[in-house]
Structures are given as C-alpha cells and as structure tokens.
A and B are shown apart, each in its own frame.
Chain A
Amino acid sequence: MSDPGYRLLDCGDRAMTVELGKTVDPTVNAQVIALDAALRGAGRSGLLETVPTYRSLLVLYDPDLLTRADLVALISAHWPPPDGSAQALRRWRVPVHYGGEHGADLADLAGGAGLSPEEVIALHSNRDYRVYMIGFAPGFAYLGGLDPRIHASRRTDPRPKTPAGSVSIGGNQTGVSPPLELPSGWQLIGRTPARSYDPARAEPFLFTAGDLIRFDPIGRAEFDALSEAARAGETVATLERIDG
C-alpha cells in the first residue's frame, strides 16, 4: 500500500490518533482541521468526539457501535479532505490592553527584540492569527502566524499563576488565556477582557480550531468597562464572517 499521508496510532481501546505530521506547520494544521470537519460531517454513530491539535486528530469511538476496522475505513474514505474546507469562515476581533500591569514582560521582550513596546504592539495586533488548537486549559487558544521579529523564548522560570485573559508569546506562537489564572512560562504582553471560556454563558466557548483572530489594542479605561460587560455575560470580542 502506498503512503496514505497519515499514520494511525491506537490510544487504547476507545481512541485513535490520526497523525498527519510531527511539527507545527500551517499546512499540516489546515489538513487536521479539514479532516476534523469531514469526519464530524460524516455523522457516524459511535464516533464520539474529535480533538484537533497542531498536527494530529484524536478520534474517540465506541467500539460497540463503530469497530476499529470501520473507523480505519471511515478515515481512509475521507482522505484527503477537500482543500478548501479548512479555510477560515470567521474572524474574531479581540480587544487587548497591552503592557503595563497587564503585560509584565512587554518591555523586556521589546528590549530583547531591539524594538520599542509600541512597535511590538503594532506587530502583534496588526495581523490575522489562525487558531491551531484549543488545549492545555478550557478555551486556551494556541495561535499561529506570529511575526518572526517578536518570537521570544519561554521564561526559564515559569510563573505558577498568570492573570486571567493573558495574551502571551511562547517561541513562535502567541496565545490567549481563558479567564483562569493558569501556570505559564510564556511572556505576558497584554490582557483581554474577553472571556474565551465561561460555562455560565449560553455560548460557553468563543474560539474553535480553524478560526482567525485579530487583536485590537485598547486603553485601560476601555479594558475596565469591557471587563465588566464580559462578567455580565457579553461576548466583548466581535465576530466577523468571512465570505469564501
């Protein structure tokens, strides 16, 4: 049999990882998201859950309803997923208050990059990022597409607690924290009042893998006002539809 372009790895008796690559790569991630959409769209009973990650798709199944052999055949039948299906259909505009007490590492990061804090903010906010995956904690979004000029290594001394809603940089990635105080070794550059996760809200999660995100710098007063609105259940981040 010729190389199908993926590897199937058993994760015990009720799950399988479809591994499409071993590195963080936008093309591979786009394939993961397209395959996820295709399998979910197939609507097969016994396919319980899927978890898209950078480079692989975890598929949980009930072997009494969908045998392992049937799952293998289902994946094969949906490979390769249609090219266009990974194209983002929506973009989130996410307000961020950069620097100061909300971005403890902004000044150091700028210094290390030979830039002013304002230049870092401009480079970080003025582009679209792709949500590669949600993981580590509820609603934590790993984003690809960071400008190489502001790549920054993780802290040697991770913080046991970082502020809720932190926007941070770790290596060649940037991320948005949910409203939880997470441990993190990433460099903190700002905070968003938007709550990417709120179990009490009708729509508990904002972002999903494949979405685009663009950050809009805001001032301190606006941050406080939006934080209050977000606590009252408003989304605060705005959603734009992208016409294919």
Chain B
Amino acid sequence: MAEGLRVVAPGITSTLQDAGRQGYLRYGISGSGAMDPDLLALANALVGNLLDTAVIEMAMVGPTLVCEVESCRIALAGAPFAMSLNGRILDSFTAHDLRRGDRLILGAPRQGLRACLAVTGGFAVAPMLASVSTHTRTRLGGLDGNPLAAGDLLPLGAPKFSDRPLTLPPLHRPRLGGPIRVVLGPQADSFTEEGLRTFLSVPYTLTARADRMGCHLDGPPIAHADGFNIVSDGIVNGSIQVPGHGRPLILLADRHTTGGYPKIATVITADLGRLAQVRPGETIVFEAVTVEEAQSLARGARRTLAARRAALVPAGGAELDSAFLLSCNLIGGVISAGALEPAA
C-alpha cells in the first residue's frame, strides 16, 4: 500500500519547491524554486537533508497533513505559522517526529507570509527538467504540476534519522521586516528623474494580486520618459517592471522569462527572501544600492546562513518547548492552530 504524508486540507497555495530550474530560461522555462532559498536550506538542515531537497512551501494558510508512514521527522522554517500535532502546539525552526496517524495542522502566521516544511528524506517525486519545483501555469513539477490538493498522498524518500531532533535557538532565527534594496536598471533611463525620485521615496503597498509569479504594487504612478513599450528582453528574479499605469510590478520565481515593459530596478538577491514575507496591504520602501554593495550583501547573507546552520543544537525536550511557548504567548498572545484551520 502506498505510504506518505496525506494532504487533508491543502491550505491556500502550498506547493513542492526545491532550488528550482537552472539552464532553461532560454527555452522559456521559469526558474521557480523556493521564494526564500535560505528557508529551504534551514528547513532541510533541521531534518538532516541535503539543503536543496524539495519542501512544501506554504503561503498565508498552511496545509493539514496526516502521517501515513511508520514515522517521519519534519521541521518548519519561515513565518511563525500556527502549528499543532494532534492538538499540541509545536515550535517552528525545530524538528519534530511524527508517528503513523498523527495529524499536523498548519494554520496562519502571526506575521509574514511564507514558510517551508521539510521532511527527512524529502519527497519521492520524479523531477521534471531536473527539478521537483511546481510551476502551476506550465504544469511542471510537484504532483502533475499542481499545488497540493485534498486527498493527495505525498510519497517520502528514504529517511535518515539523526539521533535527536535539531532546533535553531530563538536568538538565531531570521527576523521579519527591513528594507527592500534594489539596483537601478536595466531600463532606469526609461523614466523621468521625477519618476525615479517617486520610486525611491514613496511607500508602495502590496496589492492582493501577489503570488509566486510576481506582486503588483499600489502607490503614486512613476512617470515614464518616453512611452512604456520596449522590445521584449530577459527578466530575472526580482525585476521590477513598470507598465503603462505607472505602478510597479515585481517579478518573482515563477515569472515569464521575457517581457516588454521597462524595468526600473531589480531587487537584490539578499532581500528576495524578505520580500517573500510581505503581505498584501503592507508597504515597501525601495532603497537603491550599487551592484558591488548588493554582491557584498549577498555574501553577508550567505555567512549568516552558515552561522545559523552552525547554531543548530539538539532540541531540549518538552520543558524547553513550553518555556519558549510561554515567552511567545507573553508577546504575541495565545493562538490556537486548530482555530485557524481552514474549513476543509
């Protein structure tokens, strides 16, 4: 009989993602992959996987899963989603063991938007174009190119348990918020000076039209210098297009590979993960940096990730968990994962 993790409720958009596809942009294939590669790495590190093993990436409301294998180990990294196992509240950034029949409920995050759930051994799903990453519009990756759906059974790879579940101590966990920095261009000269000033000074609000492909922003229009059609050229993860209406559109992991609107700037690599946590209704202020600064910030972000991996320690058991939960409750108030479960 087939075994794995059974999806009871899929959440809002939960997809399998790994590090994405490389080398296919020239054929019109999106890169896809986890919206925050550091969370992919951390979730996997917590369960002892290779860092680019596929995970479940969730947004806004996570899935409800039932363990249909003898046992497996899971860990959640990212926004503080309410998470419970058979009704007991679980800490994120900590590995937990599931037994057959256990019910894992992911609710909504107190803040932020996305998280990655890793399982020891990963998911036994055949890669398409060298990746398991789901790209729903072209039906690539995941289970037949689809997001998780109620009833799906996610087969697991061979588990390799380490002795004790690991945890990332709270001090080392990523914090949400902070600037979204950009490198101006490639078509910054398609905008007036006034337009560039607007772009770099005014807060822009993330609209409800925001997904893995890109996010539409609302705010004062940015003035084009001479029209808003260019002959299509290549788009990268983080490219900020400004269509005719003057409001920016940030293109992300699941973007088209080419496009015909001028691109005012590009979000720097080090801030793409932070951008993935901005919710509709929240605002962004863009800050310009040079290419050299952006590259140095990316190196800094990699050092931070390495330091976090080095800070992983065996989880301290129930006492420490409750102490930590108590401290969370004092700050954030009690949130019941069950109460946030979507109506299945």
Show the binding face of A for B, using Cβ within 8 Å: 9-15, 17, 19, 22-24, 48-58, 60, 63-64, 68, 133-140, 178, 180, 197, 199-200, 204-205, 208-209
Contact = CB atoms under 8 A, between A and B. Distances in A.
Which residue, of B128, B231, B256, B292, has the highest number of chain A Cβ atoms within 10 A? B231
A135 B23 contact: no
Given A11-B185, A51-B26, A139-B28, 10 more contacts: A9-B185, A11-B236, A12-B238, A13-B294, A19-B186, A23-B231, A48-B22, A49-B26, A63-B295, A137-B256
Interface of B: 22-23, 25-29, 128-129, 138-140, 182-183, 185-187, 230-236, 238-239, 256-258, 263, 266-269, 291-292, 294-295, 297-299
A63 B291 CA distance: 10
A49 B22 contact: yes
A138 B29 contact: yes
Contacts of B182: 12
From DSSP, what is the main secondary structure of chain B's interface residues? mixed
Given A23-B231, A54-B233, A209-B26, A13 B268 contact: yes
A22 B186 CA distance: 13
21 contacts: A9-B187, A11-B186, A13-B266, A13-B269, A13-B297, A14-B269, A19-B186, A49-B22, A53-B234, A60-B25, A63-B298, A133-B258, A134-B27, A136-B28, A136-B256, A138-B28, A138-B138, A140-B28, A197-B28, A199-B128, A205-B27
Contacts of A139: 27-28
A71 to B, nearest CB: 11
B269 A52 contact: no
Contacts of B26: 49-52, 134, 208-209
Contacts of B28: 134-140, 178, 197
B185 A10 contact: yes
Contacts of B256: 135-137
Contacts of A60: 25, 236
Contacts of B258: 51, 53, 133, 135-136
A47 to B, nearest CB: 11
Contacts of A63: 295, 298
Contacts of B295: 13, 63, 68
From DSSP, what is the main secondary structure of chain A's interface residues? loop
Contacts of B267: 12
B233 A53 contact: yes
Given A51-B234, A138-B28, A10 B257 contact: no
Contacts of A58: 25, 233-236
B29 A68 contact: no
Contacts of B23: 48-49
B232 A54 contact: yes
A48 B268 CA distance: 17
Nearest to B138: A138
Contacts of B230: 22
Contacts of A14: 236, 269, 298
Contacts of A15: 234, 236, 266
A68 B25 contact: no
Contacts of A200: 128
A141 to B, nearest CB: 9
Nearest to A52: B26
Contacts of B138: 137-138, 180
Given A11-B263, A58-B236, A199-B128, A138 B27 contact: yes
A13 B298 contact: yes
B236 to A, nearest CB: 5
A12 B183 CA distance: 5
A23 B294 CA distance: 31
Nearest to A178: B28
A136 B137 CA distance: 12
Contacts of A55: 231, 233
A180 B128 CA distance: 16
Contacts of A52: 26
A51 B25 contact: yes
Given A49-B23, A209-B26, A22 B268 contact: no
B145 to A, nearest CB: 9
A93 to B, nearest CB: 20
Nearest to B263: A11
Contacts of A13: 183, 266, 268-269, 291, 294-295, 297-298
Contacts of A133: 232, 258
A184 to B, nearest CB: 13
B33 to A, nearest CB: 14
B272 to A, nearest CB: 9
A206 B192 CA distance: 42
Contacts of A22: 230-231
The 6 A-B pairs at the shortest CB distance, nearest first, are namely A58-B234, A135-B258, A12-B266, A9-B186, A13-B294, A51-B234
Nearest to A207: B27
A97 B67 CA distance: 51
Given A51-B257, A68-B291, A56 B234 contact: yes
Given A10-B185, A10-B186, A135-B258, A197 B27 contact: yes
